[in-house]
Structure 1
Amino acid sequence: MKNTILATLLLATCFNASAASSTSTNSPFYGDKYRGWYWFEDPPVEPEDEPEKEKPAVPAAETKPEEEKKEEKVRLDVAWLKSKIPEYQEAAINNPTRENIARYMYVQRYMLDISSRFATKTMEFNQFESELDESKRRPMSTFSLNVFKDDTKKAISNVISAINEKSHLWFFFSSNCAYCKKQLPLLKELKIRFGMNVLGISMDGSVLPDMEDIEVVVDTTNVAERFGVQFTPTMFMALNDGSGFTKIGEGLTTLPLMQDRILLSARLKNVITDEQYQQTQNVREINVLTDTDGTMLADAELIENDPGYLAEILKSKLADSKPVGAQLFNSLSGE
């Protein structure tokens, strides 16, 4: 019994020693008892782990968006069409695919439309631009054309009568020339219509039938040779003062052609004025080139920078052109 109690105490003692040892090692309550009432102190705060600072992100290299390509425009003007139409035509001929033919045909239509637009605008402009009215040269309407023809016929009669006062015709012929017999009635018609004086010059000393009303001389002084007459009939217009001679026909020559050449020769010889000559023409000459040398002078700077400048100076040259069937009104005389 004694032994049992002793064993139990010994065992308890070992247990208490083991527990105290364990407590002093693991708990500050027992290990710090020398500090007195230390358990009222706040337990030390363990520092929290500072979070790692995030490193600033390295900005990615800026990638510039690709610049949008500007759509290139082509001006489809006349210069472009002139260069491209032959190219497209050649492509369509060499390779007549539907696409090539369509491209050529529609481009050609586009060119025609441009031309048509220009023609329309030009006609509209000319409707109200009297200086460019082509009917001043020769009327287009039947009403005005009849008046024009009557005025021209009267002018021819008056002008040739004026020419006849300063000139006459030479008619070189031979009696055995069949063509001279055919030419004679035309010369007589000039005499009847305009009182034109005709001098017949016989190359063989004889006369033609029906020459009673025409003065005839025989060429005994080689006049024909001096004027280079080789064929009959040949006609000259000779000024009465001997200052000028113009061949107006060699061989059979029609009445209108002789008439035109007489008028032109008279103008060139200053027998009539330019104005008189124009009155006898079937188409009037209305020209901006009124200077004798056929040139004009213009301001170099204005002609380059002012689009209206050239048109105005040319318009001024045509301002005095007289329309057909019109009379110039003189405000001073009232006529």
Structure 2
Amino acid sequence: MIKMTLFLILLFSDSHAKTFYQDHARGWHWYEKLPIPEEPKPQEKDRKKPLTPGEKMKAYREELENRLAQAWINPTSQNVSRYQEMQQDMMNRSQTFSQTWMKNVFSNAGLDHTLIAPVNQKAVHVYLDQQKEEKQQVIQSLSQSHGLFFFYASNCSYCHQFAPIVKFFADQYGWEVLAISLDGGPIDLFPNAVPDNGLASQWNVTALPSLFAVNPEKEDVIQVAQGMTSIDEMENRIMVLTRGNK
């Protein structure tokens, strides 16, 4: 029994001694620290995507509104200061944006709107003269495809006051005018006026005087005036309403 015990002790000692000498670089293996397991890396889907510029701007506005609301509901010095600080930051950003905008305009003629619509006083006069000349040419050319239908009543004082304006416009631009009387009575300057045959109701004439620009070929009917108006207003309305309908 003693021999067996000694044999086991020697066997055990020899086994560990051999392990130590064969792998002496590691030392006693039962004394080694166990490796710390690495934390699992977050899954790709768990990672937050960076905010887009639009999302950042939205978040900025929301934070500014929240600070304002907090300062208004509970106007402590701290709450008001937090809002003032962010508002100042917003103003600084706006100023930087504005300065960069102007630098781009000054360095790129294609972005300078003042070259199209100048603000210099002398340049403005030249620009307005050019605009007026172009407008007159366009309205003159429209006389080839359009005519004016002038609705009036002989007992309408506004109609009699408006008739010379219509006549002057027609003579200046070469437009033909068909005067239509709703009560069958005459009007100065338009001796060839005709009585209404139901056209006023069809075109929903509800106020006098009324003036329409008509393109018979395309059957385009555009109301130019309802009530008295000036020649300038007539010109502008015809330019806008007939654009693309020539």
Q: Work out whether residues 173 and 233 of structure 1, in 8 Å CA contact, stay in contact via their aligned partners in 2.
A: yes
**What residue ranges of structure 1 are gaps of 5+ in the alignment?**
1-58, 62-76, 272-335
**d(CA) in 2 for partners of 1:134, 1:93:** 41
Report the more deviating stretch, 156-165 or 238-247. Answer: 238-247
Once the two structures are superposed, what CA deviation does each residue of 1:143-187 show, in whole Å capped at 9, x if it has no partner?
A: 221111111111122111111122211111111011201211221
Higher RCO (CA 8 Å, separation ≥ 6 residues):
1
> Which residue of 1 is the match for residue 72 of structure 2?
93
TM-score with structure 2 setting the length: 0.67
Query: Match for residue 179 of structure 2?
Result: 200
SS of match in other structure, 1:245: strand
Match of 1:231 in 2: 207
Q: Is this contact kept in 2: 1:202–1:216, CA < 8 A?
A: no
Out of 156, 160, 164, the position equivalent to 1:177 is 156
Q: Which moved more, 1:196-205 or 1:236-245?
A: 236-245
CA distance, structure 1, for counterparts of residue 239 and residue 114 of structure 2: 23
For 1:259, the equivalent position in structure 2 comes to: 235
Q: Hey, which bits of structure 1, 4+ residues long, moved more than 4 A?
A: 77-80
Alignment of 1:110-189 (within 5 A): 110-189=89-168
Please state whether the residue corresponding to 1:207 is helix, strand or coil: coil
- The range that moved more, 82-91 or 132-141, is 82-91
Matches within 5 A, 1:47-126: 78=57, 81-126=60-105
Q: How far off its partner does 1:241 sit?
A: 4.2
- Please report the RMSD computed on the Cα atoms of aligned residues, expressed in angstroms: 2.8
Q: Encode CA deviations 1:37-70: one digit per residue, 9 max, x unaligned.
A: xxxxxxxxxxxxxxxxxxxxxx9x9xxxxxxxxx
User: Normalising by the residue count of structure 1, what TM-score does the alignment of the two structures yield?
Assistant: 0.51
User: How many residue pairs end up in the alignment?
Assistant: 194
Instruction: Tell me which amino acid in the other structure corresponds to 2:110.
Output: E
Which residues of 2 match residues 218-297 of structure 1 at below 5 A? 218-219=194-195, 221-239=197-215, 241=217, 243-269=219-245, 271=246
Q: 1:246 to 1:81 in 2, by over 3 A?
A: closer
- How many Å separate the matches in 2 of 1:93 and 1:223? 62
Q: Which has the larger radius of gyration?
A: 1
Q: Distance in 2 between the 1:263 and 1:136 partners?
A: 22
Q: Which moved more, 1:154-163 or 1:134-143?
A: 134-143
**Which residue identity is paired with 1:129?**
N
Change (3 A) 1:81 1:197: same
Code of the aligned partner of 1:239: N
* SS at structure 2 position matched to 1:249: strand
Provide Cα deviations, 1:255-312, integer angstroms capped at 9, x if missing partner. Answer: 223222322343342x2xxxxxxxxxxxxxxxxxxxxxxxxxxxxxxxxxxxxxxxxx
Does the CA contact (< 8 Å) of 2:181 and 2:196 recur in 1? no
Q: Does the aligned pair in 1 maintain the 2:104–2:111 contact within 8 Å?
A: no
- 8 Å Cα contact 1:204-1:218 kept in structure 2: no
The farther-off stretch of 223-232 and 146-155 is: 223-232
Contact 2:149 2:211 in 1 (8 A): yes
CA–CA distance in structure 1, aligned partners of residues 98 and 60 of structure 2: 18
Bigger helix fraction: 2
Partner of 1:321: none
Percent of residue pairs identical: 25
Listed one character per residue, the Cα deviations across residues 208-262 of structure 1 (whole Å, up to 9, x for unaligned) are 23x1xx3523226433334333432121112254733222222223322322232
Offset, 1:85: 2.4
How far, CA to CA, are the matches of 2:193 and 2:201 in structure 1?
15
CA contact (8 A) 2:180 2:196 kept: no
Distance in 2, Cα, partners of 1:113 & 1:185: 58
**2-structure distance, mates of 1:226, 1:95:** 63
- Secondary structure of the residue that 1:175 maps to in structure 2? coil
